[in-house]
Amino acid sequence: MPKERKYILLQEKARQGNLPYRLPNIKNKRLLDPLVVIVGAGASVAACKVDKYGKQVPLLKNIHTVLGLTDDLKEYGFSEEQMADFEILFSDISGKNEYKDLQAKLENVISDFFCELTIPDEPTYYDYLVLSLTHKDAIISFNWDPFLIQAYRRNTCVGNLPELIFPHGNAGVGVCYDCKVKGYANCLCPRCFKKLEKMPLLYPIGKKDYYSKPIIRNEWSRARDVLSRAAGITVYGYGAPVTDVEAVELMKTANMVSQMKDIAPFTIINLPKNEIEQRKKWAEFYDVKMISYCNRFEDTMLWQNPRVSLETLFDAILQQHPRSSEKPFEKFASLKELQDFVDTITEFDMYFYGS
Q: Which residues bind Zn ion (CB under 5 A)?
A: 176, 178-179, 189, 191-192
- Select 175 or 233, whichever has its Cβ closest to Zn ion: 175
**Shortest spacing between CB 198 and Zn ion, in angstroms:** 15
d(CA 47, CA 58): 13
**Other beta carbons less than 10 A from residue 222's beta carbon:** 17
- Select 22 or 191, whichever has its Cβ closest to Zn ion: 191
**Shortest spacing between CB 197 and Zn ion, in angstroms:** 10
**Shortest spacing between CB 177 and Zn ion, in angstroms:** 8
**Shortest spacing between CB 161 and Zn ion, in angstroms:** 23
- Select 105 or 195, whichever has its Cβ closest to Zn ion: 195
- Select 121 or 178, whichever has its Cβ closest to Zn ion: 178
**Shortest spacing between CB 183 and Zn ion, in angstroms:** 9
Of 185, 181, 182, the C-alpha closest to 171 is 185
**Other beta carbons less than 10 A from residue 26's beta carbon:** 15
Edge-first strand listing for the sheet containing 35-39: 163-165, 138-141, 35-39, 232-236, 266-269, 291-294
- Select 88 or 188, whichever has its Cβ closest to Zn ion: 188
Query: What 8-state DSSP symbol labels residue 274?
Result: G
Query: What 8-state DSSP symbol labels residue 23?
Result: P
d(CA 258, CA 266): 13
Contact yes or no for 322/305 (Cβ under 8 A): no
- Select 176 or 254, whichever has its Cβ closest to Zn ion: 176
Of 227, 32, 213, the C-alpha closest to 134 is 32
**Shortest spacing between CB 199 and Zn ion, in angstroms:** 14
Adjacent-strand bridge partners of 182: 175
